[in-house]
Structure 1
Amino acid sequence: MNPTILVLTEETLNEADARNLGYLAEDNPVRFEILVPADPGRNMLVDVLDNLSLLDFAAAYRNIAGPHLSEKQEVKAAEQELAESLDLLRGLGFDADGRVTGQNPVEAVVEEARRSQAQQVVVITTPHAVEDTFGTDWANEAQDRLGVPVLHLYSGSTFIGDS
């Protein structure tokens, strides 16, 4: 069985994300296990502060006033994000599987990393100024609980978060 790289993403993987994951695999056969949380457990106030720190006023307004998805809609959206991410990776020739997680994404990563004996964990998110600054982001939390490397990448870029 090929070594596993576990990927936790808060949104659909894109071409840049797939390219970054390909760099991790190099020419070695690996298996990607993708986790997409149905409920990322985000705090609305923290999300608004994140949006404001990035000068994304429209997103801050949407977080306050915008339509909020029901639990069923969140699961359906996560399933769609997972399916699209798997299609992308498989289309590029990668061995990839995945699942939608529940309310605690970090706990899901810890459980899956131990179950699959993952060689590495990659967390792909958009920038979250508050969590990234105070080290409370998913990558830092996972790093504190696991004995494997955790890489924090910002979606759609080559920027590496601090974990």
Structure 2
Amino acid sequence: MDTTLVLAEDALTSFDVSHILAAAPSPEVRYHVLVPADTERNMLVGLLDDIYTDGFREAFAAARRGMPDSRNATITAKQSLDASIAELAAAGAQATGEIVGDDPLPALRAAVAADPGVTSVVVVTDPHAIEDTFRQDWASKARDALDLPVLHLYRGTSMLG
């Protein structure tokens, strides 16, 4: 059975899952979801992304909150992972998952090495103006590092990254 790795920045929505399943090469695909416990996000880049997507008020509110500590980041990642697996299961897909470190690339490489059935990667994130523009986003890095097709979806939309 083929495996698709799903790298999710946040909990997948039913809308996201419908796009992921539509992109599957066959109905006999299992999904392995990776959710980073992100504690090392660049504050300046995050602020610029928030200004780009949410406006000044929301951006500065997020900046005042600061970066999550590792305990809170892990709790949030676990909630996102559980919700994502539940959404995939509700759509009839077979799914497993794990929480990974801040940089998900080593976990993607390890998952590909551990499972010869991995045939593709789907990255689901919010838009990130700086990273996406300069090809420093997770999907671009995965395309460079892995010899697999990588699809980048923007969470909750029909937009591709």
Distance between the aligned counterparts of 2:105 and 2:59, measured in 1? Answer: 25
Counterpart-to-counterpart distance in 2, 1:55 and 1:109: 30
Aligned-partner Cα distance in 2 for 1:40–1:66: 13
Report deviation, 1:40: 5.8
Q: Does 1:97 align with 2:74?
A: no
Q: 1:39 maps to what in 2?
A: 38
Instruction: State the match for 1:123 in structure 2.
Output: 123
Q: Once structures 1 and 2 are overlaid, which stretch shifts more, 10-19 or 100-109? A: 100-109
Structure 2 CA distance, aligned partners of 1:55 and 1:73? Answer: 23
> What is the identity percentage for the equivalent residue pairs of Structure 1 and Structure 2?
38
Residues of 2 paired with 1:94 and 1:153: CA distance? Answer: 18
Provide the secondary structure at the position in 2 that maps to 1:25.
coil
Tell me, yes or no, if structure 1 residue 18 matches structure 2 residue 17.
yes
- Distance in 1 (CA, whole Å) between partners of 2:103 and 2:26 is 33
1:22 aligned partner, one-letter code: L
Q: Deviations over 1:3-58 (max 9, x none)?
A: 00000010000011010011022652100000000126320100111112235223
Contact 2:39–2:73, Cα closer than 8 Å, also in 1: no
* In structure 1, distance between residues paired with 2:134 and 2:67: 27
State the match for 2:138 in structure 1.
138
Matched, 1:62 2:68: no
* In the alignment, structure 1 residue 147 sits paired with structure 2 residue 131: no
Number of aligned positions between the proteins: 160
Q: Which residue of 1 aligns with 2:156?
A: 156
In 2: Cα distance, 1:28 partner to 1:41 partner: 37
Counterpart check, 1:3 vs 2:10? no
Following TM superposition, where does structure 1 have runs of at least 4 consecutive aligned residues deviating by more than 3 angstroms? none
Query: Structure 2: 5+ residue runs without aligned partners?
Result: none
Matched, 1:75 2:83: no
Contact 1:121 1:148 in 2 (8 A): yes
TM-score, length of structure 1 as denominator length = 0.92
1:46-105 superposed Cα distances (whole Å, 9 cap, x missing partner): 011111223522331123212542211110111111011111111111000000001211
SS of residue paired to 1:113 = helix
Asked if 1 retains the 8 angstrom alpha-carbon contact of 2:5 and 2:31, the reply is yes
Distance 1:69 1:61 in 2: 16
Q: Gaps (5+ residues) in structure 1?
A: none
Structure 1 contact 39–74 (Cα < 8 Å) conserved: yes
